């Protein structure tokens, strides 16, 4: 069947923005449901986009908003919960997918794409983030006989507006001499956001992807230390990256867990205990070397301009 009307949950976020613009560019009609309309200001310029402010945790809202949809895409996810007991992760990664699939089933929506995470396993993953992601994915695939479902499980995703590289860039700017790095040994295969968006878009009508859980990685692997060094170098910084022994990393996580915004948590530490690299799955083509020097170069230029403005009192 031809898929025309698509509802995206989490469409205002980093991946959602790239995916919505790709799908709008292909002439699809997109509905994005958001907690706050102003989270979607940057999407308003896209053609054929309908922004709805509503509570996606309300089953009735989902039932109403999915009427007439050919596909639903779930991108909602969190890296940290406000609470400290796993309830926040369960609400977003398990309860929400269950409600989404029930609402899709009720409305006879034929196609669902879901965003999981590499290493997500309901039983054996080391963190709440990964375990709940795994359980949510299982709920999605429990509907496999009734709805055509596909889930994607990426390593870390990078792009100009990502939070991974940008968060590192922000911290490195504040610690220009040396930076003690937790879990410096963990390996990643960073995958480019436009490659991920392309994969979602092309899966919509690809019957061979029905029922599959697909791991997504970039073409190369790096340790966290190598990534931090790469980011620093491209920002023109000479920051020395010092691997933090696990015992100190855990103490750091316990403290940062209680800092507003949770810059690092015990759950993040546990997630970082497994390498985020692909054994199977799809290796997407774009390297960080072909994207980050340009985007980080802009940041370097920006900080030079900021300094000059400060000196000129402007």
Ligand X SMILES: NC(=O)c1ccc[n+]([C@@H]2O[C@H](COP(=O)([O-])OP(=O)(O)OC[C@H]3O[C@@H](n4cnc5c(N)ncnc54)[C@H](OP(=O)(O)O)[C@@H]3O)[C@@H](O)[C@H]2O)c1
User: What are the two backbone dihedrals, phi and then psi, of residue 101, each rounded to the nearest 5 degrees?
Assistant: -65, -40
CA distance 227 to 17: 24
Q: Identify which range of 61-69, 75-83, 239-247, 280-288 contacts ligand X by CB under 6 A.
A: 75-83
Closer residue to ligand X (CB): 70 or 162? 162
Q: Taking the CB of residue 15, how many other CB atoms lie within 10 A of it?
A: 24
Exactly one of 6, 75, 94, 109 binds ligand X (CB under 6 A); that residue is 75
Does 166 bind ligand X (CB under 6 A)? Our answer is no
Closer residue to ligand X (CB): 69 or 75? 75
Residue 107's Cβ-side half-sphere holds a number of Cα atoms within 13 Å equal to 24
Smallest CA-to-CA distance from 150 within 13, 282, 56, 55 is with: 282
Exactly one of 5, 6, 7, 10 binds ligand X (CB under 6 A); that residue is 10
> What is the length of the chain?
314
- Strand order through the sheet with 282-283: 49-53, 29-34, 5-9, 71-74, 111-115, 148-154, 213-217, 282-283
Site string for ligand X, 86-125 (x = CB under 6 A): ------x----------------------x-x--------
Cα–Cα–Cα angle for 239, 245, 249, rounded to 5 degrees: 85
Q: H-helix or E-strand containing 174?
A: helix 164-174
> Residues in contact with ligand X, total (CB under 6 A)?
21
Q: Identify which range of 21-29, 33-41, 224-232, 299-307 contacts ligand X by CB under 6 A.
A: 33-41
Exactly one of 5, 6, 13, 229 binds ligand X (CB under 6 A); that residue is 13
Closer residue to ligand X (CB): 12 or 286? 12
Q: Which residues bind ligand X (CB under 6 A)?
A: 10, 12-16, 34-35, 39, 56, 75-78, 92, 115, 117, 154, 156-157, 164
């Amino acid at each position: 069947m031809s898929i025309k009307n698509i509802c995206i949950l989490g469409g205002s976020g980093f991946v959602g923005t790239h995916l919505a613009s790709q799908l709008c560019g292909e002439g699809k009609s997109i509905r994005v449901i958001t907690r706050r309309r102003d989270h979607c200001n940057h999407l308003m310029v896209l053609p054929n986009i309908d922004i709805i402010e509503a509570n996606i945790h309300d089953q009735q809202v989902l039932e109403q908003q999915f009427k007439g949809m050919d596909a639903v895409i779930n991108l909602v996810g969190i890296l940290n919960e406000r609470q400290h007991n796993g309830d926040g992760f369960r609400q977003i990664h398990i309860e929400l997918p269950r409600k989404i699939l029930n609402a899709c089933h009720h409305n006879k929506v034929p196609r669902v794409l879901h965003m999981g995470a590499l290493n997500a396993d309901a039983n054996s993953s080391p963190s709440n983030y990964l375990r709940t992601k795994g359980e949510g994915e299982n709920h999605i695939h429990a509907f496999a006989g009734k709805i055509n479902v596909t889930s994607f499980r990426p390593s870390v995703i990078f792009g100009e507006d990502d939070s991974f590289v940008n968060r590192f860039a922000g911290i490195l700017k504040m610690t220009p001499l040396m930076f003690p790095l937790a879990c410096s040994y963990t390996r990643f295969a960073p995958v480019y956001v436009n490659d991920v968006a392309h994969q979602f878009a092309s899966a919509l009508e690809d019957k061979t992807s029905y029922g599959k859980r697909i791991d997504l990685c970039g073409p190369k692997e790096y340790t966290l230390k190598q990534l931090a060094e790469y980011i620093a170098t491209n920002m023109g910084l000479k920051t020395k990256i010092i691997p933090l022994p696990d015992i100190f990393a855990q103490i750091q996580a316990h403290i940062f867990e209680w800092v507003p915004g949770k810059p690092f948590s015990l759950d993040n530490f546990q997630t970082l205990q497994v390498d985020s690299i692909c054994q199977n799955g799809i290796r997407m083509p774009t390297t960080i070397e072909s994207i980050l020097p340009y985007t980080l170069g802009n940041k370097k230029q920006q900080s030079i301009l900021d300094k000059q403005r400060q000196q000129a009192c402007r």
